[in-house]
Amino acid sequence: GENVEQHPSTLSVQEGDSAVIKCTYSDSASNYFPWYKQELGKRPQLIIDIRSNVGEKKDQRIAVTLNKTAKHFSLHITETQPEDSAVYFCAATNSGYSTLTFGKGTMLLVSP
Amino acid sequence: DVKVTQSSRYLVKRTGEKVFLECVQDMDHENMFWYRQDPGLGLRLIYFSYDVKMKEKGDIPEGYSVSREKKERFSLILESASTNQTSMYLCASSLWRTAIYEQYFGPGTRLTVT
């Protein structure tokens, strides 16, 4: 089955800096790559996703890039703010079913 | 707004008890999922269902079973709870079986087995 590796496990940045979280996946048939944000005590929520026919997608301060050849994708957050502090999960589809395999998560801490 | 609700936020059970966790979604989604979330391990899929009375094993089904008698309701059952099942349990739903759409999560149930 699919295996998703996520790095780093924790990331501390100063407010205004950029943050990058990287994921690799193993199943070359994966075609959908979402990112979820989970604030402390809250449920995970989708913040951005990318499909395999696209190399990059942006939404205001967040962007995701996908390299299908290398089987890795990354989340980029620019001009970080304290409210960006949360755990971020990447995920990739499992071929055959509409299920996702999640990475282990990255705890992002943005200091004022 | 999609709403996914779970029957309890916190639950404390004793070893050997039968435990039911219920999840209800109000958006007529076909797919429903049960995950457990543990620190450092991320979200791991226990079971999922893409239709009423259908169920498929996820990555860690041992010790669990599920029931989906109605489209909007998906139950997770711990037949005989053990301490290693102490965890946060998250339910999710999504729209289609054959296409990947956003998964909407419930608030979670923190289960403690003593």
Report the gap between the CA of A49 and the closest CA in chain B (Å): 9
Q: Is A84 helix (H, G, I), strand (E, B) or coil?
A: helix
**From CA A30, how far away is CA A27, in angstroms rounded?**
6
Q: Is A42 helix (H, G, I), strand (E, B) or coil?
A: coil
CA B14 to chain centre: 20
Q: Is the pLDDT of residue B101 over 90?
A: no
Lookup: tokens for B98: 């054959």
Q: Is the pLDDT of residue B99 over 70?
A: no
**From CA B75, how far away is CA B46, in angstroms rounded?**
12
Q: Which of B54, B79, B68 is nearest to B25 (CA)?
A: B68
- Test the A interface: residue of B6, B33, B43, B110 with most A CBs within 10 Å: B43
Is B99 an 8 Å CB contact of chain A? yes
Q: Which residues of A touch B50 (CB under 8 A)?
A: 97-98
User: What phi-psi label fits residue B40: left (phi over 0), alpha (psi between -120 and 50 degrees) or beta?
Assistant: left
pLDDT tens track for A7-62: 999 999 999 999 999 999 999 888 899 999 999 999 999 999 998 888 999 999 99
Q: Which of A4, A13, A26 is nearest to A90 (CA)?
A: A4
Q: Is the pLDDT of residue A93 over 90?
A: no
Of chain A residues 82-111, which have a CB less than 8 A from chain B? 89, 93, 97-105
Q: Is the pLDDT of residue B82 over 70?
A: yes
Report the gap between the CA of A5 and the closest CA in chain B (Å): 11
User: Cα angle vertex A60, ends A57, A66, to 5°?
Assistant: 20
Peptide bond before A112: cis, by omega within 30 degrees of 0?
no
Report the gap between the CA of A43 and the closest CA in chain B (Å): 5
Q: Mean pLDDT over residues B91-95, rounded?
A: 93
pLDDT (0 to 100) of residue A1: 77
Selecting from B100, B105, B108 the residue whose C-beta is nearest the C-beta of A98 gives: B100
Residue of A nearest to B101 (CA): A98
**From CA B107, how far away is CA A9, in angstroms rounded?**
23
Q: Is the pLDDT of residue A95 over 80?
A: no
The structure tokens 């990059």 sit at A56
Non-local CB neighbours of A31 within 8 Å, separated by 6+ positions: A51, A52, A93, B100
**From CA A34, how far away is CA A37, in angstroms rounded?**
10
Q: Is B114 helix (H, G, I), strand (E, B) or coil?
A: coil
Q: Which residues of A touch B97 (CB under 8 A)?
A: 98
- Test the A interface: residue of B2, B74, B100, B104 with most A CBs within 10 Å: B100
Lookup: tokens for B106: 């419930």
Task: Tell if the CB–CB gap between A31 and B100 is shorter than 8 Å.
Answer: yes
Mean pLDDT of all residues in chain B? 93
